Amino acid sequence: MDPTQARRLRIDRRAAGMRRQRRATQATAAGAVAAAVAFGWAFAQATAAAAETPPPAPSTTDAGAGAASTGGLQAPAQAPGSGAGQPDVQSGGS
């Protein structure tokens, strides 16, 4: 096998691993959603059967608040503004 072929093989192997990882992540997320829906439905049935007057339904905000963080990169509360004068500190390559 020549170096180019060997390199291509290694790159393809990593790309395949990434694809498998993405599929596993998507499957886990889909499973979690399905489980949440199923538990929510089951809970709603039990509650309806136990009480003549059902409790107030949770608001969509409350339901959304329980969602797991995506763990993505987050923006700052405020973007940088324009400055002038002698900087306090320098940001650059290190």
Partner 1 sequence: MSTTRVAPARATFPALGTTAVLLVTDGRALPDAERALRAELAAIDAACSRFRPDSEIMRLARYAGRPAPVSPLLAGALAEALRVARATDGLVDPTVGQAVVDLGYDRDFALLDRDRPDTFPDAGAERVDAIPRPAPGWWRIRLDEAAGTVVVPRGVLVDLGATAKAYAADRAAARIAGLGGGGLGVLVSLGGDLATAGPGPAGGWLVGIGDNHRRTASGDPVVTVRSGGLATSSVTQRSWRRAGRTVHHIVDPRTGDLPEPVWRTVSVAAACCVDANAAATAAVVRGHDAPAWLAGLGLAARLVGHDGNPVTVAGWPAGGSGASQGTPPTARACAASRDSREAR
Q: Is 58 helix (H, G, I), strand (E, B) or coil?
A: coil
Looking at the Cβ atoms of 11 and 42, the one nearer to partner 1 is 11
61 binds partner 1 (CB under 8 A): no
User: 38-51 burial, b for 16+ CB within 10 Å, e for fewer?
Assistant: eeeeeeeeeeeeee
68 binds partner 1 (CB under 8 A): no
Shortest spacing between CB 46 and partner 1, in angstroms = 31
Q: Kindly report the CA angle at 28 between 27 and 33, in degrees rounded to 5?
A: 95
CA–chain centroid gap for 88, Å, is: 36
Shortest spacing between CB 28 and partner 1, in angstroms = 12
Footprint of partner 1 on this chain (CB under 8 A)? Answer: 1-3, 6-7, 10-11, 13-15, 17-18, 21, 25, 69, 71-94
